[in-house]
């Protein structure tokens, strides 16, 4: 997925503990399962990635849902 997108990070399957980043320039990577990244001053491993494209508006960005675990 290239181009503008919204990325929603979920930490340790805690649905209430999320970060949302809007990447208007499309410079952030599209994460894949098993990727390792730094967030919140910790190392995290990607466990699941889902992509959702909404058709509800002309300027709606696709959303990349990224589940992370600290069990690296």
**Pairwise CA distance, residues 67 & 65, whole Å:** 7
Which stretches of the chain drop beneath a pLDDT of 70? 1, 56-59
Q: What is the pTM of this model?
A: 0.86
Q: What is the mean pLDDT of the chain?
A: 91
- Please provide the DSSP assignment of 6-64 as one string: EEEEEETTEEEEEEEEEETT--S----TT-EEEETTEEEEEEEEEEE---S-TTPPPEE
Q: Give 47's contacts (C-beta < 8 A, 6+ positions apart).
A: 33, 67, 68, 69
Structure confidence at residue 58 (pLDDT): 66
Structure confidence at residue 15 (pLDDT): 85
């Amino acid at each position: 997925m290239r181009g503008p997108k919204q990325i929603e990070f979920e930490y340790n399957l805690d649905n209430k503990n999320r970060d949302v980043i809007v990447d208007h320039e499309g410079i952030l990577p599209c994460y894949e399962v098993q990727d390792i990244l730094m967030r919140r001053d910790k190392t995290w491993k990607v466990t699941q990635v889902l992509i959702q494209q909404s058709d509800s508006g002309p300027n709606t960005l696709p959303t990349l849902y990224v589940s992370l675990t600290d069990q690296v």
